[in-house]
Amino acid sequence: MSVHNLEIAALLNQLADLLDIEGDNVFRVRAYRNAARTIEGMSRGIAEMVAGGEDLSALPGIGAALSKKLAEIVTTGHFHALERETAHLPPGLLDLLQIPGLGPKRVGQLYRELKVCGLPELETALAEGTVTKLHGFGDKTVERIRDWLQRRQQAGPARLRRDIAAALTTDLLRALRALPGTQSVTPAGSFRRGAETVGDMDILATGDEPALVKCFVNHEDVAEILAQGDTRAAVRLRAGLQVDLRVVPPESYGAALHYFTGSKAHNIAIRTRGVKAGIKINEYGIFRGDARLGGAAEGEIFAAVGLPFIEPELREDRGEIAAAETGRLPKLLALNDLRGDLHAHTTESDGTASLDAMARAALAKNYAYLAITDHSRRMTVAHGLDAIRLRRQIAAIRAWNEAHAGGAFQLLAGSEVDILEDGALDLPDDVLAELDLVVASIHDHFGLDGERQTARMIKAMENPHVHIIGHPTGRLIGEREPQVLDMERLLAGARLHGVAMELSAQPSRLDLNDLQCRMAKERGVAIAISTDAHAPGDLALMSGGILQARRGWLEAADVLNTRPWPELRARLRRKAQ
Ligand code: DGT
Ligand code: CA
Ligand code: CA
Ligand code: ZN
């Protein structure tokens, strides 16, 4: 039994949520949430550390009591503190928390006053009209809840965040790769296309067929075998994710990889093109009549239909075949094109590491710059900085640069300043003018109508000191819908005012999304790909942002933080004039 860090973090968050609903001590609730965050961001497995007898209480935010609980989870599979809560609080309450506008307080109210203990009971209560009678539940709130429930019904089966799917399948992939005789094991499907969420995982392998299938279905993370044949199987993991395995002979590997990478629409377009050229393309290979023309390597598929190689991230039938045909495929951005990160937090606001630790982490990535952008004063829960504290931090950043002068690395003094409800900024212009870089973000009033929300953001862009709009739509994948925005007008505003849009590489955000990135590129608006790091390890989240950017057809020239420092500096200064 090996419990993944993400599973542990999910348990801790569940406990925090239930305690919060009960109205438990806020510090206790926060402690569980912080610990969950620490564990989520760790590269090493808690299970492995416990097995090795390591001291977990040395980890940030994890004390002696909590480290005992973690040991309990990984060794026994039980978590008594949570079980005690779920014994008297129905777990369906956690589903209610997903609804925008329903925080723990209101969920607790629904439970205590109306005996609502899950989504079905909520629907009943809404139908009976009892919800509006609760204190603090106005017509608007009730309408939003109804909307959400309706949209949820139409949304179809749940999809899992890509990073979570990756973490949940790491051990399985490792086990398959370690089998004697295995030649290749490759995740295909939407995962290989770099999609932000996956419906299921598709794994393609070449090697010893019976051994691969057997290892797959017997793996310790598998909860249920859904199908099993000689060369294929499908399973459901304990965490709920479905995984499909296909074992193919080496001569079919390229054709199968192309087929199972998809997308389906792209496959059909390629196959149709083949038919016109008198060849048949399927998952087994490339054929003319009975003659086999190829199929061992993926590139052969494209060559057979007279096209250059098309990167997996582009294979959505969104014009990539026409672009390939006319030699206009983008030269997609790669991780090593980036020269720095333009959004990071420290312990001054809600980060977990000092300025120096963040700087060193960026240096270790060979970056040319890292912008420190702690929250502004309005974000009180995140200890946001007012002008006085920000000026002190600016001085600390200048001092750090002086102490490390002569190197090829700069810390940039920045701020993630809140955009207030009317589009004004949360810090005065004179202090913003002292900064190298300003990211302006919305952290409240997500529910404004599209007209007002768009105008609010454009007003922020008009401020001469604002360089980047942070996580522009505010969505949280699977948790919070994007704000209603007129993207066309927003991008026109960004273009006019020389403001870049952020692509937040936070796996829960990936905001802007792929289509919006492409739209920005086409409208001449630069993208800043930023990790919004809250810890040194978060700088590694950049790779997820790169995938989304590639899905948005972005090239190095479309991205702000591919610029060398002198060029970036000139650009940042120009905006303020
Ligand atoms: P997902 O799992 O919903 O995130 O999306 P995919 O793209 O991974 O879809 P999935 O797992 O159903 O199938 C994997 C790939 O197999 C898909 O991208 C393309 C290929 N495929 C599946 N069904 C068909 C089909 O009916 N026709 C063709 N041409 N390809 C298919
Ligand atoms: Ca799939
Ligand atoms: Ca599949
Ligand atoms: Zn941030």
Ligand lying closest to the C-alpha of residue 159: 1
Least confident of 88-97, 103-112, 393-402, 426-435: 88-97
pLDDT exceeds cutoff 60 at 262: yes
Which atom of ligand 1 is found nearest the CA of 259?
Answer: 20
Q: Residue 450 has what pLDDT?
A: 93
pLDDT exceeds cutoff 60 at 174: yes
Ligand lying closest to the C-alpha of residue 160: 1
Torsion 453-458-461-462 (CA) sign: negative
Structure confidence at residue 156 as a pLDDT band (50, 70, 90) = low
- Whether residue 202 has its Cβ less than 6 Å from ligand 1: yes
The secondary structure of residue 481, as a DSSP letter, is P
Structure confidence at residue 60 as a pLDDT band (50, 70, 90) = confident
The pLDDT tens digits of the residues spanning 504-525 come to: 999 999 999 999 999 999 999 9
Mean pLDDT computed over every residue of the chain: 94
213 CA → ligand 3 middle, Å = 16
Ligand lying closest to the C-alpha of residue 345: 4
CA distance 401 to 179: 50
55 vs 519, higher pLDDT = 519
Q: Which residues, in sequence order, are bridge partners of residue 369?
A: 340, 410
Look at ligand 1, atom 15, and give the residue with the nearest C-alpha: 260
Look at ligand 1, atom 18, and give the residue with the nearest C-alpha: 262
CA distance 245 to 260: 10
Q: Which residues, in sequence order, are bridge partners of residue 568?
A: none
96 CA → ligand 4 middle, Å = 27
Q: Give the pairing type, strands 232-237 and 242-247.
A: antiparallel
- Whether residue 200 has its Cβ less than 6 Å from ligand 1: yes
Which atom of ligand 1 is found nearest the CA of 189?
Answer: 8
Tokens of 341: 């990160």
The pLDDT tens digits of the residues spanning 435-470 come to: 999 999 999 999 899 999 999 999 999 999 999 999
∠ Cα 335 339 343 (to 5°): 95
Q: Residue 370 has what pLDDT?
A: 98
- Whether residue 118 has its Cβ less than 6 Å from ligand 1: no
Entry pTM: 0.83
Torsion 39-41-42-45 (CA) sign: positive
Domains by residue range for the chain, with CATH = 5-89 (1.10.150.110), 160-247 (3.30.460.10), 252-325 (3.30.210.10), 335-575 (3.20.20.140)
Q: Residue 101 has what pLDDT?
A: 80
- Whether residue 272 has its Cβ less than 6 Å from ligand 1: no
Q: CA–CA distance from 156 to each of 153, 445, 561 (Å)?
A: 7, 28, 37
138 vs 188, higher pLDDT = 188
The pLDDT tens digits of the residues spanning 345-389 come to: 999 999 999 999 999 999 999 999 999 999 999 888 788 999 999
Structure confidence at residue 287 as a pLDDT band (50, 70, 90) = very high
- Whether residue 199 has its Cβ less than 6 Å from ligand 1: yes
Helix pair 355-364, 387-403: axis angle to 10 deg:
50
The pLDDT tens digits of the residues spanning 182-232 come to: 999 999 999 999 999 999 999 999 999 999 999 999 999 999 999 999 999
Look at ligand 1, atom 13, and give the residue with the nearest C-alpha: 189
The secondary structure of residue 511, as a DSSP letter, is B
- Whether residue 282 has its Cβ less than 6 Å from ligand 1: no
